[in-house]
Amino acid sequence: MNTAGLYVHIPFCASKCAYCDFVSEPGDSAAMDRMRKAIIRHIKEAGATAPKGGGPAVDTVYFGGGTPTYFGDKRLLSLLGIIGKRFRLTRDAEITAECNPDFADAKLLKSMYKGGFNRLSIGAQSFDDGTLQTLGRRHTAADTEAAVRNARDAGFRNLSLDLMYGLPGQSPEQWDETLRRAVALKPEHISCYALKIESDSLLFNRVGANCVRPQTLGETGGRTQCASTAWELPSDDITADMYLAAVEFLSRSGYAQYEISNFARPGYESRHNLKYWRMQDYLGFGPAAHSDYHQRRFHTENDPGAYAEAVLNGEEVIRALERLPDTERAVEYIMLGLRLVHGISGNEYARRFRADFTAIERKLEKFAVHGLAERFGDRWRLTPKGFLVQNQIVGKLLER
C-alpha cells in the first residue's frame, strides 16, 4: 500500500540559536493559538475533497520547527487529533516531535505519549556546556540527560539525539566525549550533523565572513584564520576526522549508519526522513513546509504571520507549485540515493526513468578504485570517505 508522510512546522522558539536559519520566531500565547487554528484549518482543507478519514493513508507524522514542545502539549495534541480525523493513520504510524531539552518536563512528555506521540528527536547538539553556550542553546548537558530520563519515564521507547560537530573551538576530544555521553544514554537513533554557518545566522556575524569554511558534509575547501580564537573553526581535515570517528565509534556501539548523518539500532531508522531520501510522498503543513505529493512539489508561505493570515482568510498559501519531469527526478534519485547506505541501482534507475545507467556506473567504478564507492549486488553506495565528498561525486556523475 502506498502511504504518505505528514510534516507539521511549528515556527516558535523561546530564542534563536546562533547557527539557526530555519523559519522560527518567539511567540506569545495569542500567536501560538492563532497558528494552531491556521494549521488545523489547513489540514481540514487538505482533506476536504475526501470523506472523513478518507484521505491518503499516513504512516509517518513529523512535528518540526522551531521547538514543537515549546508550542505545548495541548496544542500539539489538537493538531495530531485533526490529522487522525482527516487522514487514515496506520496502526504502526511513526509519530515524531522535535524536542529541546529545556522544554521536556515530565508532565508534558507524559501527556504527549498518552496522546499518541511515540518518537522524540531531542536536540542535544553537544555535551560540553561551554560549546552549548557558544551556540546560543538554552540547555545544559545535564538538561539533556534529564530530558531522556523524562522521556523514558513517560513511556517513549524510540528516542533520537541530534549532535553537531565542527563547532567553534571544538576539539576532537570534546567531540569524542559528546559521542560517549550520547551513547551512554542509550537512544535508539543518533544524528550527527556538521555545522554549516548560514549567511543570515547570528553565528555568521559573530565569526565573520572571512573565517567561514565550507562545512556542508561533502564539500571541501580552505580555511582562513578567524580574528578571535574563541570563534575559530576546526580545520576541514579535523572536521572530516570527527565524522569518521563518529562512524567508527557508533558502529562499535551498535548504531548502524544508514544515511550520511544518521545512525540507528536495527529497526529504528527514521521512517519519516527516509521518505524524503527515497522520493516518497509527503505533505507539509504550517509556514515554510515543503511537500512532494503525486509528482508535484510545492511549499507554503514562509512568513509565519502571513501564513496564518492567509489560511484564516481563505487565501492561497501554496507557493512554487511544479511538476518535475523524469529527467529532474532522475537527478534527484542519484543525489538522494547516494546519501543512503542502501545506495542506488542501475536496474532501478533504468526501470523508473527509462535511462541508461552505463556511463554513471563507469564513473562509479573509478571512484571505487579510490575507496570512495563500492558495489554490492546490483547496487552502488558511497563509503564513509565517499560521503565526505558526496557533493563532488554527485557533480561528476551528473556530468554523465
pLDDT value of position 219: 45
120 vs 113: CA distance, rounded Å: 10
Q: At what angle do helices 346-353 and 326-337 cross, to 10 degrees?
A: 160
Does the 326-398 domain belong in CATH 1.10.10.920?
Answer: yes
Give, for all 400 residues of the chain, the pLDDT tens digit: 579 999 999 999 887 666 666 777 788 899 999 999 999 999 998 875 444 555 679 999 999 998 999 999 999 999 999 999 999 999 999 999 999 999 999 999 999 999 999 999 999 999 999 999 888 889 999 999 999 999 999 999 999 999 999 998 899 999 999 999 999 999 999 999 998 876 666 666 666 554 544 444 444 443 434 444 456 889 999 999 999 999 999 999 999 999 999 999 999 999 999 999 999 999 999 999 999 998 899 999 999 999 999 999 999 999 999 998 999 999 999 999 999 999 999 999 999 999 999 999 999 999 999 999 999 999 999 999 999 999 999 999 998 6
The SS3 assignment for 18 reads: coil
pLDDT value of position 224: 36
| Dihedral angle computed from the Cα positions of residues 82, 83, 88 and 93, in that order, rounded to the nearest 10 degrees | -130
Nearest to 215 by CA among 82, 81, 388: 388
> Going by C-beta distance under 8 Å and a sequence separation of 6 or more, which residues neighbour residue 334?
344, 349, 360, 394, 397, 398
Span(s) in the chain for CATH 1.10.10.920: 326-398
15 vs 26: CA distance, rounded Å: 6
Span(s) in the chain for CATH 3.20.20.70: 4-277
Give the right CATH number for 4-277 from 3.30.1360.120, 3.40.190.290, 3.20.20.70, 3.40.50.720: 3.20.20.70
Q: Are 101 and 143 in contact (CB under 8 A)?
A: yes
Task: Please give the grid coordinates belonging to residue 176.
Answer: 569524542
The SS3 assignment for 265 reads: coil
> Going by C-beta distance under 8 Å and a sequence separation of 6 or more, which residues neighbour residue 184?
none
pLDDT value of position 2: 76
**DSSP state for residue 22 in the 8-state scheme:** S
